[in-house]
Amino acid sequence: MNFEISAYLTKLLNTSAFFVMGVAMQKISISPGALVLAGNKRLEIIASTSPSKIEARDVISGETVFISPGEIEFELKTPLHSGSETFQAEAELAIRDSDIKLATDRFNVLAPLKTKQFLSKQDAEQCSLALGLSASQIRRLFAQLDMKKGPESLILKRRGRTKGVKIIGADVEDIIQQVIDEYYAGPGATVERVIQKVKEQCLTLSLKAPSSATIANRVRERKPRELLAKKSGKKAARQAYAVRGEKVQPEAPLQLIQIDHALVDCIIVDDQRIPLMRPWITIAIDVYTRVVLGFYLSLSYPSAMSVALCIAHAALPKNSWLKSYGFSGYEYPFYSLPKRIHVDNAKEFRSKKLSDSCRSYGIELTFRPRGTPHNGAHIERLIGTLMGKIHILPGTTMSSTKAKGDYKSERMASLLFSEFREWLIREVEIYHSTEHSALGCSPLHKWEEYYQNKDGSFSYPLLVDDPKRLLIDFMPSKTRVIGRAGVRIHNIDYYTNTLKRFDIGTKCVVRYDPDSLKKIWVLPEGEKNYIELSYADLRLPDTTLSEFKSLRKKIRGESARRVPAAEVFKLIEKNEQLVSAATMASKQARKTRERKKSRLADPGHPLNGQRQIEKHIESIDYSVNPVAYTLED
């Protein structure tokens, strides 16, 4: 830009007005009391606090704001009034943003023609075409146009009270907002309750109560997310309104699996056909194919052992597992170690030992952010699908008390744990062969499609070379040292002759099964393979960790002395004899017995193998004289 043009523009800007395309542009006076439009807000200038900051008041809300001169769009010429007229002035300024935009668009089209005294027919037709209005409407707007007021002169003058303008007193308005904050809360929150409370408080304070419609409108003016949060909690509001962002979608099987626990919606019975309890299921889904990669069914509460058994079941082929339950001809070709496991924030998942075990097998363990179940949507949907099938079984508890109605779950319960397990295996098989709405094909087909080669042959996922080692590596663990009597854990001594190779004080990792304390697996420092240990005293009965701790706590409550393990095992033996002889009237006793039985008699449990439940070795009575047997020649 040359000097002459620059000087000319400077002079032009210093005049009270200048013209662009024949339109007179006005200077905006930034002085106290001036009304301006900034950021779609009608503001009254209060003071200039600095060269770049202006203090102003929102004439609608009364809020004090700070703006810069560059934020001012144009000056409003409507003067402010005082007293009762102030409210009327503010109401007139309550203009819709869409009206302002419309007026600006019309101003930009009509203003260049204002230099003419009359609007020609040709000009009117061109404006009609540009604005989508009739010629008569164009002429009315042209007559209404005021170049001093600018676009403001073309803003629609709507009849009636402008939306958002409140005509009730401030004290009554405060009561309404306070009642909404206080009483619109919890599952029972209703607009009717708010209306009732507002009218009660107005009556108490001798104020004229607003109409029910007015109060209801104030509730509806609140943000829907805020109302849902007050009624159903922040979690529900976040689920309904939070932006969830992009999801990571796997591109192949085993790239991502999700694991979760669920309490089964069905009561099972014991071997006397007496109602017992609801089982737990820990289940893993492959997100890419939606196959049930593995699951573990138990009568015990979810634990680190449940997770270990589920991961092992997911990683290993299922042929021998199916045969152990008498299934033949069933297809369950899904197995191998996943690259990533996604879980929630339950204690058994948050264990450092679990993350260490995953890392040793090249598995990334990731966690669902708290309060965001949509991040585990696939496993949640699978559990919902299975529970829907379970709801047709005798003894179902349904998903809620409302859905259950008058149905007597305990009275109708009829399935043994083993029978329910058999039913579940078949249902999983049916699920794998049924078209999945999100896939457009069955999970089985999706899996096979990925592993089928172009020539029609199949490739296979990687196999784990030591299945038992895999399970043991994910079992709960403690760090101990080898002592003179062997290895002690949970105050119980374990021993095998193999320990003689190690020195006393050698550190070792001890893995154990909380549902069966009879054996542990020890990995001494520097060794690559686990050593299996049994009770040092082979006469001791098998038991669960929870039962052992419970009885030891009971003895400690009776005496402050240290409790030896042998004393606890004596109580366990007595309890077993009592339970066997009793009529099993106690549900808790029956639960304890069934938990043991379901674990120790499970033919498909990887730690049971093909063995039967071992009988306890009875103690030798040395007070009885030995009997001599006659040897035959």
Structural class in CATH, domain 170-241: mainly alpha
| Res 253: pLDDT | 96
| Res 615: pLDDT | 42
Rounded CA separation 122/133 (Å) = 14
SS3 269: strand
| Res 8: pLDDT | 38
Question: How far from the centroid of its chain's Cα atoms is residue 486's Cα?
Answer: 46
Rounded CA separation 335/333 (Å) = 7
Q: Does domain 257-451 have CATH number 3.30.70.260?
A: no
Contact assessment for residue 143 and residue 153, using Cβ atoms and an 8 Å cutoff: no
Q: Where are the domains of the chain?
A: 26-154, 170-241, 257-451, 476-600
SS3 242: coil
- In the chain, count H helices and then E strands: 22, 20
Q: Give the residue from 258, 250, 320 showing the smallest Cα distance to 283.
A: 258
- Between strands 487-489 and 35-38, the pairing is unpaired
Rounded CA separation 569/537 (Å) = 11
10-residue mean pLDDT profile of the chain (633 residues): values are 40 40 56 80 81 81 81 66 44 60 87 82 87 84 84 72 63 87 87 92 88 90 86 78 67 94 92 88 95 93 91 93 87 93 87 90 87 68 92 89 84 90 93 91 94 89 91 93 94 93 95 91 94 90 84 65 68 66 59 74 74 43 54 45
Rounded CA separation 562/156 (Å) = 89
Q: Give the residue from 222, 264, 256, 273 showing the smallest Cα distance to 337.
A: 256
Average pLDDT of the chain to the nearest whole number: 80
| Res 390: pLDDT | 93
Kindly report, residue by residue over 559-589, the tens digit of the pLDDT.
545 567 777 777 677 666 665 655 445 566 6
54: phi then psi, degrees, rounded to nearest 5: -120, 130
Tell me the DSSP string of 460-491: -PPPPS-HHHHHHHHS-EEEEE-BTTBEEETT
**Residue 236: count of CB within 10 angstroms of its CB:** 14
- Between strands 340-343 and 257-263, the pairing is parallel
Query: What is the distance in angstroms between the CA of the first residue and the CA of the last residue of the chain?
Result: 131
Q: Give the C-alpha distances (Å, rounded to integers) separating 40 from 36, 84, 373.
A: 10, 25, 39
Spell 521-556 as b/e; 16+ CB within 10 A means b.
Answer: bbbbeeeeebbebebbeeebbbbbbebbeebbeeee
